[in-house]
């Protein structure tokens, strides 16, 4: 039986991430935005990306902002 995330492609996940980052770029100071991008890159390097669900996006980004950008 396949899992619904099997149908959420990496490309779709990256598009969601891009849209989320556009929002945050408008709402964070440039230094905070740069730190956010670096944190996302760190996380993405640590995990193997199999489908769109493995892309840092949405709540993942919100958690980075809440916990790492203080």
Any domain includes 2: no
The pLDDT of residue 70 is: 77
Q: Whole domain around residue 53: which residue ranges?
A: 8-68
Q: What pLDDT does residue 32 have?
A: 97
Asked, for residue 3, whether it belongs to a domain, the answer is no
pTM for the structure as a whole: 0.87
In contact, 16 and 55? CB cutoff 8 Å: yes
In a domain? residue 1: no
* pLDDT tens digits along 52-64: 999 999 999 999 9
Residue 15: DSSP 8-state: H
Is the Cβ–Cβ distance between 60 and 16 less than 8 Å?
no
The answer to whether residue 56 sits within a structural domain is yes
Task: Please check whether residue 63 lies inside any domain of the structure.
Answer: yes
Please state, in angstroms and rounded to a whole number, the distance separating the CA atoms of residues 30 and 43.
20
**pLDDT, the chain, mean:** 93
**Which residues, other chains included, contact 16 with Cβ-Cβ below 8 Å and sequence gap of 6+?**
52, 55, 57, 58
Assigned domain for 42 exists? yes
pLDDT of 17: 98
Number of domain units in the chain: 1
């Amino acid at each position: 039986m396949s899992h619904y995330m099997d149908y959420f492609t990496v490309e779709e996940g990256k598009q969601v991430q891009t849209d989320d980052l556009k929002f945050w770029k408008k709402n964070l100071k440039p230094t905070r935005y740069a730190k956010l991008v670096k944190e996302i890159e760190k996380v993405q390097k640590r995990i193997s990306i199999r489908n769109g669900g493995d892309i840092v996006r949405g709540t993942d980004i919100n958690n980075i902002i809440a916990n790492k950008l203080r």
